[in-house]
Amino acid sequence: MVGYDGSPPASRALDAAAQQLQGRPGPIDVVYVAHLSSLVALSPGAVAEMEEDFDEIEKDLRAQADEQLRGSGAAWESNGARAPWPIN
């Protein structure tokens, strides 16, 4: 499992995971955890808007991870996670 946010450290971690997986069965689980601030959580309208933003961010990160892992031979999957409560 690799936490991935598109940052240089996350990209290095993803590369390292792909290298470690070579010749072994199983996929890399690429995860991105979106969270709402406590301020946003107080407004239903803001929550709906942020969820749309999270969908777009997840789509972009999925595409970045796909591009990075393409050619590595590593199988991978990604499931966006959303915290059910604000994380401060």
Q: Please state, in angstroms and as integers, the Cα–Cα distance from residue 86 to each residue in 29, 35, 55, 74, following that order.
A: 24, 6, 17, 34
Q: Please state, in angstroms and as integers, the Cα–Cα distance from residue 29 to each residue in 45, 76, 77, following that order.
A: 32, 6, 5
The pTM score is 0.72
In this prediction, residue 81 carries a pLDDT of 56
Percent of the chain scoring above 70 in pLDDT: 70
Closest listed residue to residue 86, CA positions, set 33, 34, 32, 38: 38
pLDDT per position as a tens digit, 23-37: 888 889 998 877 666
Which domains does the chain show, CATH number per domain? Answer: 2-82 (3.40.50.620)
pLDDT per position as a tens digit, 2-20: 988 889 999 999 999 999 9
Phi, psi of 46 (to 5 degrees): -70, -35
- For residues 10-25, b (16+ Cβ closer than 10 Å) or e, as one string? bbeebeebbeebeeee
